[in-house]
């Protein structure tokens, strides 16, 4: 399909005229138009120019992308047949990250105000070449780029992905691989969840036990959450952390790709790994605390109510805690150029504070009526520490409870409400509502997804349907949005990619492209072309959006019916109730299917397109249909 678009015959191009069109580029450019010229040919004679040193640096990036698959060595200088220019007079329409890209048969020109814009122009150009441009090895390249004109700039300045490296540790190389791919889709923030109950992953030189103790847990296999607690005397051999040299290398690697890193130190809750290293930091001074290997240590009551069975919470009444935080944030601030530091604040259990005499005395002294106000007291002090290092505090939306710290920005994860409320109070927000953009959640049927126990689904279409700026909200406070990958159940970078793509293609469009360009069918067509490129690049992704979506209804007379829909449109669904595997010779689904009674009755369905299977076969036992009934 990609080929068809790339090699559009000249006459067809002429007939396309000059009106705005859809490109195959991810994210969708603000304005894209095919123009009346023959295509530009990439050959061994192609040269790449940059009108100053910074532009030539990006020219080198382009050269690297094209040399690998073509085997050509591109001459880089001030002038080239592909020309990258940094504007001497800024073009206000483009801002810091926008660019214009013009392709004729004789030249490709990318203009931008800043190197970031040139970098993004290069990403768009590479995406206009065939999927083989992603090949790891040399291919027969006879490539042309259709003549076109692009003017492009982002809708939001914050286009994030979050990677949790506490629950599962990802190597420096894995993190770089993740950054490399996100940058191609014009994401510009990696929110790096560096600390949690299950591992402290960042070297803090003044607090060596954080990694000597906090980065190691006893090894466990199988289902995270059900793991056996550490046994007496058992060695904690499952270790992983980033040295400060690793972090500098990752920050520099990201910066070359216009990705900034938001470090998260999750306090005062989620701190078992810190407490295992320094037990004096929690109210109970629990010196039996171990880094949690994935055991269940909380009771969840629904509606956000829970009880922590271990004291994984820093003591807000203890001056030692603020000395600790001062040391941590001094080193974190020195390592990360990004203006924000994320200080967590989520799911902090207050039960140990309620029982602690020092916390109670502090509340009395400070006139704090609730433990939410006590957490707010903690966050305000943390904000002062972070500000003293020249940075700004961001926190999960729980930091609203008990009163926001004066300058804090809010990451709204329990819905959009936290973001709306923070904006009302004049605070900046990043929208990450779990119902739409928590990409650790299931993207398909639990019966066929790798993790069958996730607590809910966020299908591709839900990601696509998300709108980060609710109607009644002042858009100026919305910095942007972010998809979050928690990694309790994600043990490898391949699995991280499977969970990230294609959902992060939907969010890439949402965070970058004008709202007016949003269209599900054209998104899914572009996505399929992108999948070919991901295959070439050996990046994993899920095809769950092609699977049948099976639900059930039970009529008043007790009769049970199976219903099938599809996320991607125009697929055919075939089903069976007779124990056989469905194929295109089985009954075609046209509406609810009566499912007769019987212990072993199973409804099976599969999707086809153009006579070929495209999704997985999903077999839902009658008993499971009954659980799914509306």
Binding site for ligand ACM (CB under 6 A): 346-347, 396, 413
The CA distance from 504 to 486, in Å, is 14
CB nearer to ligand ACM: give 348 or 539.
348
Q: How far is CA 114 from CA 69, 156, 565, in A?
A: 28, 16, 46
Which helix (H) or strand (E) segment holds residue 64: the answer is helix 53-70
Give the residue from 302, 319, 6 showing the smallest Cα distance to 144.
6
> Which residue in this structure is represented by tokens 């295109």?
584
191 counts as catalytic: no
User: Among residues 111, 164, 174, 196, which one is catalytic?
Assistant: 196
The CA distance from 169 to 241, in Å, is 7
CB nearer to ligand ACM: give 26 or 413.
413
CB nearer to ligand ACM: give 164 or 331.
164
111 counts as catalytic: no
Q: What are phi and psi of 303, to 5 degrees?
A: 55, 30
227 counts as catalytic: no
CB nearer to ligand ACM: give 396 or 501.
396
Q: Parallel, antiparallel, or unpaired for β 75-77 and 199-200?
A: unpaired
User: Among residues 270, 342, 350, 427, which one is catalytic?
Assistant: 270
HEC profile of 513-545: CCHHHCCHHHHHHHHHHHHHHHHHHCCCCCCHH
Q: How far is the CB of 346 from ligand ACM (least distance, A)?
A: 4
Centroid of chain to Cα 54: 29
The CA distance from 55 to 388, in Å, is 36
The CA distance from 514 to 17, in Å, is 22
Residue 301: both structure tokens together: 């009551």
Q: Could you say which DSSP state residue 38 is in?
A: P
Q: What are phi and psi of 530, to 5 degrees?
A: -65, -35
CB half-sphere exposure, 462, CA atoms < 13 A: 17
Centroid of chain to Cα 463: 11
Task: Let me know if 448 is exposed, middle or buried by CB neighbors in 10 A (0-12, 13-18, 19+).
Answer: middle
CB nearer to ligand ACM: give 347 or 567.
347
CB nearer to ligand ACM: give 152 or 347.
347
| Shortest-Cβ-distance residue relative to ligand ACM | 346
Cα–Cα–Cα angle for 24, 25, 26, rounded to 5 degrees: 120
CB nearer to ligand ACM: give 375 or 563.
375
CB nearer to ligand ACM: give 396 or 603.
396
Q: How far is the CB of 420 from ligand ACM (least distance, A)?
A: 17
User: Among residues 174, 315, 347, 356, which one is catalytic?
Assistant: 347
Task: Let me know if 100 is exposed, middle or buried by CB neighbors in 10 A (0-12, 13-18, 19+).
Answer: buried
CB nearer to ligand ACM: give 30 or 399.
399
Per-residue burial over 460-475, b if 16 or more Cβ lie within 10 Å, else e, is bbbbbebebbeeebee
Give the residue from 622, 617, 616 showing the smallest Cα distance to 594.
622
The residues annotated with a catalytic role in the active site are: 196, 270, 347
């Amino acid at each position: 399909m990609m080929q068809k678009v790339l090699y559009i015959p000249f006459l067809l191009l002429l007939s396309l005229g000059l009106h705005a069109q859809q490109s195959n580029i991810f994210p969708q450019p603000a304005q894209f138009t095919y123009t009346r010229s023959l295509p530009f040919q990439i050959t061994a004679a192609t040269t790449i120019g940059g009108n100053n040193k910074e532009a030539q640096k990006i020219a080198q990036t382009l050269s690297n992308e094209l040399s690998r698959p073509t085997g050509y060595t591109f001459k880089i200088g001030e002038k080239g047949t592909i020309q990258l220019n940094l504007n001497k007079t800024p073009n206000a329409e483009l801002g810091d990250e926008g660019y214009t890209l013009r392709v004729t048969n004789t030249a490709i020109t990318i203009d931008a105000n800043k190197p970031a814009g040139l970098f993004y122009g290069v990403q768009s150009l590479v995406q206009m070449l065939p999927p083989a441009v992603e090949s790891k090895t040399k291919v027969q390249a006879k490539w042309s780029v259709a003549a076109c004109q692009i003017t492009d700039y982002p809708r939001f300045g914050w286009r994030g992905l979050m990677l949790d490296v506490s629950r599962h540790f990802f190597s420096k190389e894995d993190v770089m691989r993740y950054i490399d791919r996100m940058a191609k889709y014009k994401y510009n923030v990696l929110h790096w969840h560096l600390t949690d109950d299950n591992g402290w992953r960042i070297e803090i030189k003044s607090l060596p036990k954080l990694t000597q103790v906090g980065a190691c847990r006893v090894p466990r296999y199988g289902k995270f959450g059900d793991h056996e607690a550490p046994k007496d005397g058992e060695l904690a051999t499952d270790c992983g952390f980033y040295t400060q040299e690793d972090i500098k290398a990752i920050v520099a690697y990201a910066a070359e790709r216009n990705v900034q890193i938001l470090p998260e130190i999750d306090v005062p809750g989620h701190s078992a790994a810190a407490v295992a290293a320094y037990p004096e930091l929690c109210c109970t001074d629990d010196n039996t605390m171990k880094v949690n290997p994935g055991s269940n240590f909380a009771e969840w009551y629904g509606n956000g109510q829970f009880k922590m069975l271990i004291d994984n919470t820093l003591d807000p009444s203890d001056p030692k805690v603020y000395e600790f935080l001062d040391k941590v944030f001094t080193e974190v601030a020195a390592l990360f150029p990004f203006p924000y530091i994320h200080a967590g604040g989520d799911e902090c259990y207050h039960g140990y504070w309620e029982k602690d005499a020092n916390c109670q005395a502090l509340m009395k002294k400070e006139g704090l009526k609730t433990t939410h106000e006590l957490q707010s007291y903690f966050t305000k002090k943390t904000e002062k520490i972070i500000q003293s290092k020249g940075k700004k505090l961001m926190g999960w939306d729980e930091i609203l409870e008990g009163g926001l710290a004066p300058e804090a920005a809010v990451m709204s994860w329990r819905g959009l409400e936290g973001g709306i409320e923070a904006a009302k109070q004049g605070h900046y927000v990043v929208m990450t509502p779990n119902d739409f953009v928590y990409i650790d959640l299931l993207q398909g049927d639990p019966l066929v997804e790798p993790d069958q126990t996730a607590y809910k689904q966020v299908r591709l279409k839900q990601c696509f349907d998300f709108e980060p700026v609710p109607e009644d909200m002042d858009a100026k406070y919305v910095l942007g949005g972010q998809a979050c990958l928690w990694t309790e159940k994600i043990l490898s970078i391949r699995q991280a990619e499977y969970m990230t793509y294609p959902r992060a293609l939907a969010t890439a469009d949402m965070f970058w492209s004008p709202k007016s360009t949003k269209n599900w069918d054209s998104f899914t067509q572009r996505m399929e072309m992108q999948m070919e490129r991901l295959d070439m690049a050996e990046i994993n992704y899920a095809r769950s959006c092609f699977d049948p979506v099976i639900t059930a209804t039970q009529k008043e007379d007790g009769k049970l019916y199976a219903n099938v829909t599809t996320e991607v449109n125009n697929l055919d669904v075939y089903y069976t109730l007779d124990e056989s595997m469905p194929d295109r010779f089985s009954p075609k689904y046209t509406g609810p299917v009566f499912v007769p009674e019987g212990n072993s009755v199973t409804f099976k369905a599969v999707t086809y397109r153009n006579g070929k299977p495209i999704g997985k076969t999903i077999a839902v036992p009658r008993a499971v249909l009954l659980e799914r009934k509306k």
